[in-house]
Amino acid sequence: MYRDKLYPPNAEDMLTMDEKETGKVEEVQTETSASISEAGSNFIAVGANTSSLNEVRRFYKKVSVEPKYAMCNHRILVYRHRDEEGKIHQGYNDDGEHGAGRKLLEYLTRNNYVNVGIVVTRWYGGKHIGPKRFNLMEDALSQVVAKLK
C-alpha cells in the first residue's frame, strides 16, 4: 500500500493551468451528496471515479475552483485507487480539519472502496460540534460512494 501526499491547490496552481490541463479538469465527472447541516455547520461531499494520482489531482482542482465550494472553510480530500500492478495507493488531506482525512480513509478502507476520490466540504457554523462532525462527514461520503459504484 502506498500513501501519496497531496496538498490543496493554491491560486497560483489554478492561474497557471494551460488550456490542455484546464480541459482535463473540466472533463472530470462528479457526483454530489445532499447537504447535511448541524449547529450551523454544513457538509457536502463531492466524488469522482479516479484511477491515478493525476486524476485525483484534477478532481481536487475541479472541486477547489468550483464557486460553490471555493468559499467553504475546509475541503477534506480522501482517495484510494488500484494501479495497473494491483497496488493500492491512498491518501488524504485534512485541510485544517484535524483527523478528518484519516477517519474518512479508514471508512473507505473498511468498506473496500477503490478507484474513488472524495472531497468533503465544510462550512463552519460558529459552534464546535466535536467528534459528531466525523459522523456527518462520513454520512456525506457514504452518499457519494454509493452513487459512484
Local structure of residue 114 (DSSP, 8 states): -
Asked whether residue 6 is assigned to any structural domain, the reply reads no
Asked whether residue 60 is assigned to any structural domain, the reply reads yes
So what's the pLDDT on residue 40? Answer: 95
So what's the pLDDT on residue 11? Answer: 65
Q: How many domains does the chain have?
A: 1
Q: What is the pLDDT along the chain (149 residues), one digit of tens a residue?
A: 556 677 777 766 766 778 888 888 889 999 999 999 999 999 999 999 999 999 999 999 999 988 899 899 999 999 999 999 999 999 999 999 999 999 999 999 999 999 999 999 999 999 999 999 999 999 999 999 999 97
Asked whether residue 22 is assigned to any structural domain, the reply reads no
Q: What is the CATH number of the domain that holds 110?
A: 3.30.230.30
Query: By C-alpha distance, which of 120, 66, 78, 91 is closest to 5?
Result: 91
Local structure of residue 35 (DSSP, 8 states): P
Q: In one letter, which amino acid is 36?
A: I
CA–CA–CA angle 46, 49, 51 (5° rounding): 135
So what's the pLDDT on residue 2? Answer: 59
The model scores a pTM over 0.75: yes
User: Between helices 100-110 and 132-148, what is the axis angle to 10°?
Assistant: 40
Beta carbons within 10 angstroms of residue 35's beta carbon: 12
Asked whether residue 101 is assigned to any structural domain, the reply reads yes
Using a 10 angstrom Cβ sphere, with 0-12 exposed, 13-18 middle and 19 or more buried, the burial of residue 98 is exposed
So what's the pLDDT on residue 1? Answer: 59
Asked whether residue 136 is assigned to any structural domain, the reply reads yes
Asked whether residue 76 is assigned to any structural domain, the reply reads yes
What is the rounded CA–CA span in Å between residue 63 and residue 69?
A: 6
Asked whether residue 64 is assigned to any structural domain, the reply reads yes
Q: In one letter, which amino acid is 129?
A: I
Local structure of residue 128 (DSSP, 8 states): -
Residue 133 lies in domain: 32-148
Asked whether residue 87 is assigned to any structural domain, the reply reads yes
